[in-house]
Structure 1
Amino acid sequence: MRDSIARALVRVLALFIPSARRPEPGRHSAAYLADQPTPANAGPWEIPWTTPTPEHVIERHTPLRGEDVQLVRPYVAGFRPPQTETEWQVERRRAVAFAAAGYDYPYSYPGAPTLAGAVSA
């Protein structure tokens, strides 16, 4: 019992008495971080963009506003329909996810009795 009390007392005193084992500053202190060298070059991202931004990139990041704005952007409308069975599975899962969220997703499949765009709510 005396040994455990003595060990506990040594641990408590070790918290209050500074240790001579650590002469350098701690890794997260301001003094340690001040001694770190700064990186010489941050890579290609440090150089500014020299050419103008393409129109399709600007259009991608422009929010949809107004009454006469196309809901499907021109860069989206040019995608080909699914060809393989895996692509059709992805399309069906996407339609299920939209339906679960309460959105009408124009989904069609080979041999469907109606076209995807012909169905209206």
Structure 2
Amino acid sequence: MSERRMRDLAARICHLVLRILLPAQGRPRRTVQPACVAAPEPLPVPVTVRRRPTPAREELHRFAEQQIQRAIEQRRLQHERRFALGEAVAGRDHPYSYPGAPFPYAAFVSSPPHQHPR
């Protein structure tokens, strides 16, 4: 086969492959129009729509107050913990206790200072 015929054959094969793989250009082909489909009937809306019960204003106020008090207490405890940590780093005892602690606050107050034996 001559070089020219090989080149023409390769060009035709490339052209055929590209025609198959790439979308068509030019005027769109006429396709069969789909038949008109009627929209389904909308579902009837109930006449009485039940509203979701919402909490009363007093309940919301009470809930907000509880959240505020809880946040204040958490902030106070965090401040006390940081202060106790600073005291511990400085080598001083700080009477720090918390709910559920294995020792009460009074254990710090009534204990005499610890002395090392010599």
User: Which protein shows a greater Rg?
Assistant: 2
Using structure 1 for the length normalisation, give the TM-score. 0.29
Q: Which has the higher helix share?
A: 2
